[in-house]
A and B are shown apart, each in its own frame.
Chain A
Amino acid sequence: MSSRGKGWGTVAAACVGLWLVQNGSENVTPPVPSAAEAFAAGPNAHTEAAADPLPPSAPVRLRIPEIDVDTPMMRLGLGRNDTLDVPPAGDRNIAGWYKDGTTPGAKGTAIVAGHVDNAQGPAVFYALGALKKGNRIEVDRQDGRTAVFTVDAVEVYDNERFPDEKVYGEADRAELRVITCGGGFSEKTGYRGNVVAFGHLIGVR
């Protein structure tokens, strides 16, 4: 290669390096669900018939293979203003379920929540926003059975416009909601909303 060619090569490398540094310095935020995963986008091919609900039994473990989630489950109550309590922030791999509500797999709407991150970095539901319709969520229960859910939609809501009835409302079949923070991040006010994965029971193992 000519000396001139080497010179241009050096300039090009410098440009690439600058771009990498500049682009990498921009903040990376947790994945946000695409519009195609919302209910409004319509049902997709993976929609499967609902399985018969199970009798109530507390969940002990929850797995979402597509986003490498495998977490123990703890009981959650209600905090101030009836908002759902959350697991301790110090533990990056723990999710919780609303203990006075429906247990996952039983008839009704079971509520699960976990952190997207804590002060140290990503937590159990960091990639919840990357879930797609038709993905599986499995819940091991105290009765030894595993409730298998399919994802019907993944939606994101602004904190001020959280649809209580849609997320927490009663259901005639066994349904599941998995909730975490998301929907954009601001240094001043934190996460702007919640990401909610909606699912229904399709099988029992």
Chain B
Amino acid sequence: MRTTARLLTGTALAVVSIGALAAPAAHAGNSEALEVYPSTATPGTIVTVNTLACGSRGHGIGDAQSLGAGDFQLRPSTHKQVVVGQFTVPQHARPGTYGISVACDNGKTARGDLVVKHKGPSGHVQTGVGGSVGPDTAQVTAGAAVLAAAAVGGTWLLRRRASGAQGR
């Protein structure tokens, strides 16, 4: 049990250090949140990003090269302390998750994710109204015929019994 725990801790540490090494030096530790809207988009959609990282009246350069949308400008927005930028998801962007990064003039950076999804069907289909749902008419007809036969037979039997009784 303790060995497992130690192993797990070791693995976790290894993952963390690999992650730290893999992150570009400029982003290490001080990357701030980048809000991406919509966070899931189809090709052709205009995506808006904003961040507090650049400070009020700051500027920045956005990097959407991961999905082939190139660089874009971030400018101060009407909201205090937020810079805003936009880019369009290219038609050729494959479905997947892409990292969007921003480098501010003040040296800070911000990062966020965009999920590219291709337009396709979603949800259930409306392919029936219930016109096939109903009683089994053939069985009902057969049942009615059997009932009618039984009634005729029964009546005949009763009559014969009645006439037999009279004749005795």
Contacts and interface: CB of A to CB of B under 8 A. Distances in A.
Contact of B133 (A11, A13, A27): A27
Interface residues of B, number: 38
B135 A24 contact: yes
13 contacts: A10-B154, A14-B154, A17-B147, A17-B150, A20-B144, A21-B139, A22-B143, A24-B137, A24-B140, A113-B125, A113-B127, A117-B133, A122-B132
Contact of B157 (A7, A27, A81, A170): A7
Contacts of A164: 121-123
B153 A83 contact: no
Contacts of A182: 128
A39 interface: no
Given A3-B161, A19-B143, A21-B144, 15 more contacts: A13-B153, A14-B147, A16-B143, A18-B143, A20-B143, A20-B146, A21-B147, A24-B140, A24-B142, A25-B135, A28-B135, A84-B125, A116-B132, A159-B123, A185-B130
A117 B161 CA distance: 53
Contact of B146 (A16, A82, A98): A16
B127 A17 contact: no
A17 B55 CA distance: 86
A13 B152 CA distance: 11
A201 interface: no
Interface string B132-168: 1111111110111111111101100100110000000
A5 B129 CA distance: 49
Interface residues of A, number: 63
Given A17-B147, A113-B125, A168-B121, A190 B135 contact: no
Contact of A30 (B123, B132, B143, B146): B132
Nearest to A9: B153
B161 to A, nearest CB: 6
Given A10-B153, A23-B139, A86-B125, A191 B120 contact: no
